[in-house]
């Protein structure tokens, strides 16, 4: 863990002097939305994918996109970088008409914005916290074929996951002191019962606030899934490590088969110690 933190500090300092100021792309809001902006930086000229960062309820993604750690990761992995800045009236967020619900139009706005920014369809990685987790989880269910990997961190309620032939790996995370913990864990278990290659993180001593250590872990998780070379994306059916989320170690074969909702998938066994640390071990 100490080595990882030292490495992240050096990466942050190296990126700090190269941080770019985001530009804004304004789109026409879909029904149920009051704002539809995307903040972006030109991290690379010919990206192979795009990393989408989604802040909390009605938040402005400019702040996330401005962070050197995300810019450095995007630049290293030859990705575009986009921050969501969508908004809806609170009543529409709760009645299923707001931007949380990607199938209602907000998801298409994101795809249209990516096409405008990069002049082609690109595969997507997503990280979303709170309101951003709402959008992230529903976008993945709506367009799984466009998603490489994702993390949805601490949503208040979730739509029940549906069976799918395309199941991009992802993280469901929530602070152990967050009232959203129960709903988040149920969603994770529902997805695993369907065979989706998901990972659970119950963040030790964390309430409803984004934990920087989770963001660092997400970067390592995305790195592992992307593989060592561009285009060499890790396949959950062929590699990685299945873990028992209760025992916090490698899962036995019969547990994976008979009790999938207590197991989770890591793209690389080297992430196990850091995962256990986030979960309080």
For 115-125, how does the pLDDT look when each residue is reduced to its tens digit (9 = 90+)? Answer: 999 998 999 99
What whole-number distance in Å separates Cα of residue 115 and Cα of residue 118?
A: 5
Q: What is the pTM of this model?
A: 0.91
Residue 4 has pLDDT above 60, yes or no: no
- 15 closest CA partner among 59, 54, 53, 69: 69
Between residues 236 and 185, which one has the greater pLDDT? 185
Between residues 225 and 6, which one has the greater pLDDT? 225
Comparing 6-10, 75-79, 106-110, 193-197, the range with the smallest average pLDDT is 6-10
Confidence bin at 20 (pLDDT 50/70/90): confident
Please name the residues in contact with 76: beta carbons below 8 A apart, sequence gap of 6 or more: none
Confidence bin at 229 (pLDDT 50/70/90): low
150's enclosing H/E stretch is strand 147-153
Q: What is the mean pLDDT of residues 37-66?
A: 93
What whole-number distance in Å separates Cα of residue 8 and Cα of residue 5?
A: 5
Confidence bin at 25 (pLDDT 50/70/90): very high
């Amino acid at each position: 863990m100490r080595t990882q933190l030292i490495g992240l500090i050096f990466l942050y300092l190296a990126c700090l002097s190269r941080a770019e100021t985001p530009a804004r792309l304004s789109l026409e809001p879909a029904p149920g939305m009051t704002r539809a902006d995307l903040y972006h930086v030109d991290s690379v000229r010919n990206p192979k994918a795009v990393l989408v960062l989604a802040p909390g309820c009605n938040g402005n993604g400019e702040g996330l996109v401005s962070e050197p750690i995300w810019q450095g990761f995007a630049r290293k992995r030859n990705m575009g970088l986009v921050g969501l800045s969508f908004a809806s009236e609170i009543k529409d967020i709760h009645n299923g008409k707001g931007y949380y619900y990607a199938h209602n139009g907000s998801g298409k706005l994101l795809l249209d914005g990516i096409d405008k920014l990069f002049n082609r369809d690109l595969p997507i990685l997503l990280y979303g916290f709170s309101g951003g987790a709402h959008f992230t989880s529903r976008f993945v269910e709506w367009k799984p074929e466009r998603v490489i990997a994702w993390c949805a961190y601490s949503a208040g309620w979730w739509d029940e996951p549906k069976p799918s032939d395309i199941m991009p790996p992802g993280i469901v995370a929530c602070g152990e002191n967050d009232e959203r913990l129960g709903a988040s864990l149920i969603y994770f278990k529902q997805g695993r019962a369907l065979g989706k290659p998901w990972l659970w993180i119950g963040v030790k001593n964390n309430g409803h606030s984004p934990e920087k250590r989770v963001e660092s872990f997400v970067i390592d998780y995305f790195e592992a899934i992307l593989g060592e070379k561009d285009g060499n994306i890790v396949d959950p059916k062929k590699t990685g490590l299945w873990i028992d989320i209760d025992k916090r170690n490698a899962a036995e074969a019969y547990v994976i088969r008979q009790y999938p909702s207590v197991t989770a998938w890591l793209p690389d066994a080297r992430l196990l110690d850091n995962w256990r640390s986030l979960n309080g071990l």
